[in-house]
Amino acid sequence: MNCKKILSENGSFIDKDTSLKVFENLPIDEDIYDLADFYKLFADSTRLKILIALEEEELCVSDLATILDMGQSAISHQLRVLKQGRLVKNRRDGKVIYYQLDDDHIKEIISSGLDHIRE
């Protein structure tokens, strides 16, 4: 292997070309912080249950409260967080607000995560 290795400040050898290539391909810090915040939305089991339920069907708060055996205020709070994070969207039908996943990417993220933990 032909590598141009140099001694780093901490005394270990690094491949300068490879390190530079990796560094240049890293996302900007703002995108990294936004991605971390995005994944934090999945770090709550109630929010995950809501998202998984919404994979199946568009539902209102009372439907979700019944399905998940939780209070409507707790469901509403989590839906507000998910909506702010652009994971769910809603539509109004008279007095009832129905929620659904914002797009198919959310379903794919959950599915990939489940596949990973089930391996």
Distance CA 91, CA 22 (A): 43
Domain 35-118: give its CATH code.
1.10.10.10
Copy the structure tokens of residue 108.
């794919």
Distance CA 13, CA 34 (A): 32
- Tens digit of pLDDT for each residue in 5-33? 555 666 565 777 888 888 888 999 999 99
Distance CA 3, CA 76 (A): 56
pLDDT of residue 8: 60
pLDDT in tens, the chain (119 residues): 445 555 566 656 577 788 888 888 899 999 999 999 999 999 999 999 999 999 999 999 999 999 999 999 999 999 999 999 999 999 999 999 999 999 999 999 999 999 999 99
Q: How many helices (H) and strands (E) does the chain have?
A: 6, 5
Query: Per-domain residue ranges for the chain?
Result: 35-118
Phi, psi of 27 (to 5 degrees): -65, 160
